[in-house]
Structures are given as C-alpha cells and as structure tokens.
C-alpha cells in the first residue's frame, strides 16, 4: 500500500518552527563518508511535548540524534534548538540533555557524585549543584541510594540515574535513546512515569525507541524514519483517522470447522493469508469490504470456530510496516 502523500515526510503534524519550537529540524541531510545517511528530514518539538522517533535498524535515527545534539554537522538544511545551531552554539548545547542507550555514568562513583560531576561539566553553578542533585535523585526515586556506587545499583536504578544526569542543567530538550531497553515491566513503568512528569513540567522530549508500546504510550506525536527519510509524522490517532480510517486489520487464530478439515481453504476463499504463525490468518480490508461480511456469515453458515477473531483499525506496528514497504517500493 502506498502511503498517502499528505503524510509523507513531515507536512502534517509538525509544529511550525519558530519561537514556540524548542527543536526545529528543517530539510536536514547528514552525510557520513560522502553518503547521505539522513535525507531531507524535518521535525519539530515544542515545550511539554514528547515525540517518538521510530524506525528499523539503519533508518538514520541515531545519526539524526547526533546531529541534533551538535555532535555532527549537517550537509544541508538546518537544526535549531531554542533558535540556535547546536553544532556551533554553546548556548544551544546548554538546552540539550542527552541520555545515551548505554549507562553513560562513572560506575565507581555514587549517583550523587555523578550528578555533581556532570553538573560541573554542564556549567551548573557550584552553589546549585548539590541542591539540584538531591532534588533530582529524589525525583527519580533514588533518595535512599545516593551514596551507593552506581555499579551496585539495579539496572532500573542505573537507568534512572542515567536520565537524572541529563537533567542536571535543566535542559529544554531531552534526547533519549532507548531509555528502557533491557528493563523489566515495573522498572519500565517507572521510567515512563518519569518522562510523563518531565513533559508535564514543560520539557521537550525526543524519544528514540524500538518499543512500539512505549512509543504509543508516550508519544504525543510519532516520527517514522526508514532508509534515512522521515516517512510519517504526526499523532498516531490523527495518522490513522486521516489516512487509514477505512482500513481494517483482520486476524483469525486457529480457525476450525465443526464437520470438516477445510478451514484453510475457507480462509483463502475469504481473502485471508497465512501469517508467520501457521495457525494464524490475516487480511487488510477496507471497512465495508464484502469479505468482512462473508467472514461473519461463515461463522454461522459453516459453523466456523476460532480461538480469536480480531477486526481492528491499523496500529502502530502496521504503520511502521507500511512505511518500510513504501520505502522498499518507492525508495
């Protein structure tokens, strides 16, 4: 399925770049070794907004993030953080808090020592370093472990310190690269709550993730990148409602007929295709497609039974797959 041109790139769902945009990326291309890894990407994030950046491996997400964080120059276009170029402006960099995917901490130091050290590196006045450290560690729920070496903390705690460090200089924009990778559900929920509270306080957040659930939960808007290009951008509900409202995903799991073994033939006759799981059958149909009516009629006329019959609007995973297919078909 070809993606509607109206949602290609970033034409909709983007806040107009200007004073309100904490981050503005306009038609940016980033080259490594002469090859454009990011091609004409655009996006914007305002205060109190979480934008999730999704895409398969090799999409150019990390390269775009490095350019946003001022670690790489852009080949074309421009990036502005609070109106300044992060590659050239020290002031722009004071507005960025970066949370790498790795636990980028001094693991023999305590959380308190890490925060104070990074506060100094980030230019936080000495008199404010300790008070900010304690407030942040309290906020991320580590008030009682501030004097334990980081290496002795659990993975979830280390992740929270990893985020707290990025907040020491009170940045307007936080860039997080898979902040919950490898965490259990409870620890992940803690990070999600923390990011929501930061958003509620007005921080702009760019969240790079492969976790579709996290992207759905947290993202006020989504940006999907494939092969260096932004393929879709906007709020998930808007994207679906505007361009995919007429689409239905159908899934029938383990279909059975009471009096014969002809269930697979019936599924094929109804226009469903086997999925990766041989007991699962799928179709993408337009709302009101007669095949959908036939499916439900078959339930009575052929006494079709199944463990699960799902008919739903496309979800984020489907959008992502659609973008990947579109990139493969149209470049």
Q: What angle do CA 140, 190, 204 make, to 5 degrees?
A: 70
Residue with Cβ nearer another protein (24 or 280): 24
Please select the residue that binds another protein; options are 8, 80, 93, 231, rule is CB under 8 A.
Answer: 93
Instruction: Report in angstroms how near the CB of residue 127 gets to another protein at its nearest.
Output: 18
Check binding of 102 to another protein (CB under 8 A). Answer: yes
Residue 125 in the binding site for another protein (CB under 8 A)? no
Binding segment for another protein (CB under 8 A), chosen from 90-98, 246-254, 255-263, 268-276, is 90-98
Among 24, 42, 82, 94, binds another protein (CB under 8 A): 94
118 binds another protein (CB under 8 A): yes
Among positions 8, 17, 43, 70, the unique one binding another protein when judged by CB under 8 A: 70
Which residue from 6, 71, 273, 305 is in contact with another protein, where contact means CB under 8 A?
A: 71
Q: Which stretch binds another protein (CB under 8 A): 115-123, 236-244, 258-266, 290-298?
A: 115-123
Residue nearer to another protein on the CB measure, 14 or 66:
66
Q: Is 42 one of the binding residues for another protein (CB under 8 A)?
A: no
Among positions 36, 75, 104, 220, the unique one binding another protein when judged by CB under 8 A: 104
Restricted to residues 194-213, the positions that interact with another protein (CB under 8 A) are: 208
The only residue of 21, 105, 247, 272 in contact with another protein, by rule CB under 8 A: 105
Q: How far apart are CA 306 and CA 229, in angstroms?
A: 40
Binding mask 143-172 for another protein (x = CB under 8 A): ----------------------xx--x---
Query: Least distance from C-beta 96 to another protein, angstroms?
Result: 5
Closest CA to 223 of 31, 4, 11: 11
Q: Compute the least distance from the CB of residue 321 to another protein, in Å.
A: 17
3-state secondary structure the chain: CCCCHHHCCCCCCCCCCCCCEEEEEEEEEEEECCEEEEEEEEEEEECCCEEEEECCCCCCHHHHHHHHCCCCCCCEEEEEECCECCCCCHHHHHCEEEECCCCCCCCCCCHHHHHHHHHHHCCCCHHHHHHHHHHHHHHCCCCCCCCCCHHHCCHHHHHHHHHHHHHCCCCCEEEEECCCCCCCHHHHHHHHHHHHHHHHCCCEEEEECCCHHHHHHHCCEEEEEECCEEEEEECHHHHHHHHCCCEEEEEEECCEECCCCCHHHHHHHCCCEECCCCCEEEEEEECCCHHHHHHHHHHHHCCEECCEEEEECCCHHHHHHHHHHHHHHHC
Give least dist CB 207 to another protein, A.
13
Judged by the rule CB under 8 A, the positions of this chain that interact with another protein are 32-33, 37, 55, 57-63, 66, 69-73, 90-91, 93-94, 96-106, 118, 121-123, 165-166, 169, 175, 208
């Amino acid at each position: 399925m070809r993606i509607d041109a109206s949602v290609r790139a970033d034409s909709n769902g983007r806040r107009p770049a200007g004073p309100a945009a904490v981050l503005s990326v306009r038609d940016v291309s980033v080259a490594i070794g002469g090859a454009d890894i990011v091609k004409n990407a655009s996006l914007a994030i305002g205060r109190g907004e979480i934008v999730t950046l999704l895409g398969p491996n090799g999409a150019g997400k990390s390269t775009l993030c490095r350019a946003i964080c001022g670690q790489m120059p852009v080949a074309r276009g421009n990036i502005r953080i609070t109106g300044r170029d992060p590659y050239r402006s020290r002031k722009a960099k004071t507005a960025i808090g970066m949370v790498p995917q790795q636990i980028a901490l001094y693991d023999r130091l305590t959380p308190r020592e890490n925060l104070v050290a990074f506060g100094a590196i980030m230019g936080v006045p000495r008199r404010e370093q300790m008070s900010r450290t304690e407030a942040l560690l309290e906020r991320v729920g580590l008030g009682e472990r501030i004097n334990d070496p980081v290496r002795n903390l659990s993975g979830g705690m280390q992740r929270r310190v990893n985020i707290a460090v990025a907040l020491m200089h009170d940045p307007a924009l936080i860039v997080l690269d898979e902040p919950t990778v490898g965490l259990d559900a409870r620890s992940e929920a803690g990070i999600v709550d923390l990011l929501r509270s930061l958003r509620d306080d007005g921080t702009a957040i760019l969240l790079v993730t492969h976790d579709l659930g996290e992207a759905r939960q947290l993202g006020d808007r989504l940006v999907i990148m494939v092969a260096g290009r932004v393929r879709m951008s906007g709020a998930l509900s808007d994207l679906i409602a505007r361009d995919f409202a007429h689409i239905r995903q159908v899934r029938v799991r383990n279909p059975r007929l009471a009096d014969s073994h002809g269930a697979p033939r019936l599924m094929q006759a109804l226009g469903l295709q086997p999925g990766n799981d041989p007991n699962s059958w799928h179709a993408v149909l337009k709302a009101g497609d007669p095949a959908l009516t036939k499916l439900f009629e078959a339930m009575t006329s052929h006494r079709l039974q199944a463990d699960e019959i799902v008919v739903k609007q496309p979800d984020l995973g489907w959008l992502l797959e659609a973008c990947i297919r579109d990139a493969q078909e149209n470049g």
